[in-house]
C-alpha cells in the first residue's frame, strides 16, 4: 500500500490550472517544472503570510521549520524528516525561478499570476531552441 500524500498537496493546483499548463504544449519536463514552480509558489505564499514576510525574504531554515510544523504535512506512514528536508529544499529551490519571473514582470512574487509564470517558462524554452 502506498503512503498517503500530505493534505497540503490537495489544494495547490486546480484542474483548470493543470489544463492551462498542458495547453502550452511544452515538453513534459518543462510542464513539470511549471507545476513544481506553481506548487511551490502557492505553498510559499502560505508560509510568507504565516511568517508575515515577503516570499523573496524567506530563508531555508524558515521554510524547513514551517514544513516540519505544518499539520497538513504531518508525517504519515513512510514519511518523516527525509520528506520534510526534501520538500523544504524543493520549495527553496523554486525561489530562483519565481524571483526571475517576478523581475521579468516588474512585480513581487506574491502578485504573480499563473499566466505570468507560464509565459516566462514559454519564453525560456524558446530561447533554448
For the stretch 21-63, pLDDT in tens is 999 989 999 999 999 999 999 999 999 999 999 999 999 999 9
Q: Please indicate, yes or no, if residue 21 is contained in any of the structural domains.
A: no
Count of domains forming the chain: 1
Domain of 107? 35-128
In a domain? residue 102 = yes
Residue 79 lies in a domain: yes
Residue 52 lies in a domain: yes
Is it the case that residue 80 has pLDDT exceeding 70?
yes
Asked if residue 47 lies in contact with residue 60, where contact means CB atoms within 8 angstroms, the answer is: no
Is 105 buried (19+), middle (13-18) or exposed (0-12) by CB count in 10 A? middle
Is this model's pTM higher than 0.95 or not? no
Residue 97 placed within a domain: yes
Residue 61 lies in a domain: yes
Please report whether residue 113 resides in a domain.
yes
Instruction: Establish if 7 belongs to a structural domain.
Output: no
Amino acid at each position: 500500500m502506498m503512503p498517503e500524500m500530505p493534505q497540503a498537496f490537495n489544494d495547490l493546483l486546480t484542474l483548470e490550472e493543470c489544463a492551462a499548463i498542458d495547453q502550452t504544449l511544452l515538453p513534459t519536463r518543462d510542464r513539470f517544472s511549471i507545476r513544481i514552480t506553481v506548487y511551490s509558489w502557492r505553498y510559499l505564499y502560505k508560509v510568507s503570510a504565516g511568517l508575515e514576510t515577503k516570499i523573496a525574504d524567506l530563508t531555508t531554515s524558515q521554510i524547513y521549520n514551517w514544513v516540519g510544523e505544518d499539520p497538513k504535512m504531518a508525517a504519515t506512514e513512510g514519511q518523516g524528516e527525509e520528506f520534510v528536508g526534501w520538500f523544504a529544499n524543493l520549495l527553496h529551490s523554486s525561489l530562483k525561478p519565481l524571483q526571475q519571473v517576478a523581475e521579468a514582470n516588474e512585480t513581487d512574487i506574491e502578485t504573480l499570476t499563473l499566466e505570468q509564470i507560464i509565459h516566462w517558462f514559454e519564453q525560456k524554452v524558446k530561447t533554448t531552441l
